[in-house]
Amino acid sequence: MRKSKEEIAEIYRGVQDHICAELTRHDGEGHFSEDQWDRPEGGGGRTRIFTQGKIIEKGGVAFSAVHGKTPEKILKKLKLQEADFFATGVSIVLHPKNPHVPIIHMNIRYFEMDNGTFWFGGGIDLTPHYVIPAEARHFHTEVKKVCDQYETGAYDKFKKWADDYFFIKHRNETRGIGGIFYDHLKPTTDEDFTKTLDFSVAIGHLFPDIYGYFMQKNHSKPFTSTEQAWQNLRRGRYVEFNLVWDAGTKFGLDTNGRTESILMSMPPHAGWEYMHTPAEGSAEAKTLAWLKKDIDWVNWKS
């Protein structure tokens, strides 16, 4: 028998707990503060913000379970019939101190309406300030393992979706090295429903393992003021994507979500420089050359 929306919300609460415990362990110094909040129209959530970290400069791990009348803007955009909605999920963005540790994002979510409409969505993607192909291969290989356990061909389909989704159109570059993205997964049997839910939870459990790897591998690397300035420029690109193109940000604001929790993905510092062009042959220029779609990272060879 498939899980109810309340049971799914409870499972996602557990995913949040697991991720927060593991990130605290990997960082070694920082801690989460919790902010529980209520949505006037129905539901609420708990937003956990990571502070005083050794490795993570700013991080947010947010859980929400909200419900109520579906806003007209959402009905029109998604071409849905009028009905009340329920949405629950976990959303995470981490911004590290060291430019050699990447930014990471993950989201798992479930959406249901009282007319029977429902679907799953989510994904995980990596945004290095400096693209290291071997590290990109490691990330995509680990993500593919989880996808392969879910469904044959899922990785290729969801990777393509991520490449297209996490594309900064006005810059003609990808936000990072991608990952996977999926939305509107509508399993037709109880067995497939359970399998899809389990897949979303597996992505949630992969998150601290894969990011813990990058935290421990790179946080002690020395960096220069030039590299830190580049980090802030890449953070600026992250801000541009989230505010201009990200559907989750728009959905949260359109459903009168909690603004502070929606915008927890913003970095603590960001930079913009007019017509900035990295020096030819520099590590920064090489990173820009990797920010394009359809790179086969799993089979990349040096």
Catalytically active residues are 105
Write the CA distances from 203 to 12, 15, 144, 254, integer angstroms.
11, 10, 10, 26
The tokens for 194 are: 């359970």
Instruction: Look at phi and psi of residue 71 and say left if phi exceeds 0, alpha if psi is from -120 to 50, else beta.
Output: beta
The residues, any chain, with a CB within 8 Å of residue 282's CB and separated by 6 or more, are none
Strand partners, 122: 108, 182
Residue 114 carries which DSSP code? T
62 burial via Cβ count (<10 Å: 0-12, 13-18, 19+): buried
Write the CA distances from 291 to 21, 141, 229, 285, integer angstroms.
32, 18, 19, 10
